[in-house]
């Protein structure tokens, strides 16, 4: 489930729930709002999302985190917390080419600690979706800018480098942190070209699409490291840039990626809203994109305990795959190079897992759990991420030894996980800490793998 933004904000500032409750109560009194009980249980209920703090308590929290009262009034709970995390500017840019350029600049220039919380949920995500759909009818023109012109060969070289990175993302032995550094470097470069050079509308459109592609590269690599906040920031930047470039299939491809984030960590109703937006933007998707949309729908339905709808969506995904061309066209289906029977098996397994049938899920994950190494397929930094639902299914089915062995093989093949992914597997294993194999594995997951550059954030889109 999703980590509430308040959890990320509180833990970033340091205090425990009890200490945070005392701090809020003290600030509440200092603001002249009277005494309030400083109970840890209050903070726990707020962070669960079950209840919202009373308004005066929110004002005390806003004072602690240096957020203006006007922002609290304008955005409401919990959206105003985004202002405290620095995401307010990103989330409230206009849905225009100029807004897309601003978001590109923010994601390229910003740096911060990894975060486990999604940054746009509920009404905040709804506002993002409405902005995108409203902009469809706005007729915004691609940007143009005065300044020193970009040499055509420089842009061609950038396109070749980005294409090479996209190929590496789909499977290579290159360490994940190295891929992330390369992707982020390209994203910064394209953002710099958009904000400091001159170009006509055709070149501006080309730059925006490249910006969307580099943001997507950063999305994948951030996801591998378990950094949900940066994954979503990059994902939103990709959606805005593709939208501003007038590339509806790219926009929908990136919306389905965002849908996956909310399926895994958030509210399935948010994921459903994203799917509806994707279908509104591209009512007649290509067969490959249709596979992805139906596969996402199957897991949404499973999360909502709608078994019949979930299985029907899987049937539609199978029919769409049968109609898909074996030749992948990245212009029409920019993130669908992995659409095949393995992808469909993954989706079937994920659906059965969310329907509460881990044994059936494991029957779909059999190839994923086998030895996938071959001379034609080198070990990929993304393999462990795809194992997550399979490990969940093994644990839910009571196959603790098998789950531990699966994680151990993945560590041996990759040389170790970055902290975010390691912590994710530790959360899966924590309820089984009394098991001898699990105790040893938890200690191993607490170790940090050796890297030759600063550890960064990063995932492959399933």
Q: pLDDT tens digit string along 344-356?
A: 999 999 999 999 9
Q: What is the pLDDT of residue 54?
A: 92
What gap in Å lies between CA 345 and CA 360, rounded to an integer?
11
CA-to-CA distance for 367 and 345, rounded, in angstroms?
9
Q: How confident is the model at residue 379, as a pLDDT?
A: 60
Percentage helix, strand, coil, to 5, in the chain?
A: 65, 0, 30
Element (DSSP H or E) covering residue 260: helix 248-265
Residues of the chain falling short of pLDDT 50: 1-2, 373-375, 451-462
Q: Omega before 10 cis (within 30°)?
A: no
- The CA radius of gyration of the chain, in Å to the nearest whole number, is 22
Asked if 391 and 407 touch (Cβ cutoff 8 Å), the reply is yes
Beta-carbon contacts of 411 under 8 Å, excluding residues fewer than 6 positions away, are: 417, 444, 445
- Compute CA distances 343 → 76, 249, 311, 328, whole Å: 39, 19, 16, 14
Q: What is the pLDDT of residue 146?
A: 87
CA distance 34 to 56: 9
Confidence (pLDDT) at 151: 87
- The confidence score (pLDDT) of residue 453 equals 38
Long-range Cβ contacts of 316-325 (<8 Å, 24+ apart): 316/290, 317/290, 317/291, 317/344, 317/347, 318/344, 320/287, 320/288, 320/290, 320/291, 320/294, 321/287, 321/291, 323/287, 324/286, 324/287, 324/288, 324/291, 325/287, 325/288
Angle between helices 287-303 and 248-265 (to 10 degrees): 20
Read out DSSP for 21-76? HHHHHHHHHHTTS------HHHHHHHHHTSSPPPHHHHHHHHHHTT--HHHHHHH-
pLDDT of residue 460: 35
Task: Tell me the C-alpha distance between 326 and 287, whole Å.
Answer: 11
pLDDT digits (tens, 9 = 90+) for 25-63: 999 998 888 889 889 999 988 988 778 899 999 999 988
Q: Report the alpha-carbon distance of residue 278 to residue 91 in Å, rounded.
A: 19
Give the Cα separation of 151 and 6 in Å (integer): 46
Is the Cα dihedral 239, 241, 244, 249 positive or negative? Answer: negative
At 123 the pLDDT is: 72
């Amino acid at each position: 489930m999703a980590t509430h933004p308040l959890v990320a904000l509180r833990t970033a500032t340091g205090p425990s729930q009890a200490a945070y409750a005392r701090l809020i109560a003290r600030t509440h009194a200092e603001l002249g709002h009277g005494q309030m009980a400083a109970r840890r249980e209050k903070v726990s209920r707020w962070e669960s999302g079950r209840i919202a703090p009373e308004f005066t308590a929110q004002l005390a929290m806003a004072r602690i985190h240096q957020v203006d009262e006007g922002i609290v009034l304008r955005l409401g709970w919990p959206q105003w917390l985004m202002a405290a995390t620095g995401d307010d500017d990103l989330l409230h840019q206009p849905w225009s080419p100029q807004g897309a350029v601003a978001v590109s600049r923010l994601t390229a220039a910003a740096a911060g600690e990894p975060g486990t919380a999604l940054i746009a949920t509920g009404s905040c995500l709804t506002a993002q979706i409405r902005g995108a759909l409203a902009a469809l009818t706005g007729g915004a023109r691609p940007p143009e800018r005065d300044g020193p012109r970009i040499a055509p060969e420089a842009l061609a070289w950038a396109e070749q480098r980005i294409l090479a990175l996209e190929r590496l993302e789909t499977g290579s032995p290159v360490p994940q942190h190295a891929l992330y550094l390369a992707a982020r470097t390209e994203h910064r470069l394209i953002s710099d070209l958009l904000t400091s050079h001159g170009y006509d509308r055709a070149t501006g459109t080309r730059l925006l699409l490249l910006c969307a592609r580099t943001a997507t590269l950063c999305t994948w690599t951030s996801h591998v490291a378990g950094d949900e906040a940066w994954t979503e920031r990059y994902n939103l930047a990709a959606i805005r840039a593709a939208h501003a470039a007038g590339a509806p299939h790219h926009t929908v491809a990136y919306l389905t990626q965002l849908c996956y984030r909310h399926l895994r960590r958030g509210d399935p109703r948010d994921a459903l809203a994203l799917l509806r937006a994707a279908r509104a933007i591209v009512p007649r998707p290509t067969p490959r994109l249709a596979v992805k949309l139906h596969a996402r729908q199957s897991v949404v339905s499973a999360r909502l305990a709608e078994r019949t709808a979930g299985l029907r969506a899987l049937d539609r995904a199978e029919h769409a795959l049968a109609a898909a061309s074996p030749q992948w066209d990245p212009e029409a289906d920019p993130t669908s190079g992995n659409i095949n029977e393995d992808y469909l098996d993954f989706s079937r397994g994920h659906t059965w897992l969310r329907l509460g049938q881990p044994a059936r899920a494991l029957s779909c994950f059999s190839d994923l759990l086998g030895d996938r190494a071959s001379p034609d397929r080198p070990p990929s930094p993304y393999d462990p991420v795809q194992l997550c639902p399979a490990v969940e299914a093994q644990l839910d089915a009571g196959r603790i030894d098998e789950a531990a062995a699966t994680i151990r093989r993945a560590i041996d093949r990759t040389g170790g996980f970055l902290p975010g992914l390691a912590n994710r597997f530790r959360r899966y294993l924590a309820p089984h800490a009394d098991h001898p194999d699990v105790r040893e594995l938890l200690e191993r997951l607490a170790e940090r793998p050796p890297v030759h550059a600063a550890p960064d954030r990063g995932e492959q889109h399933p």
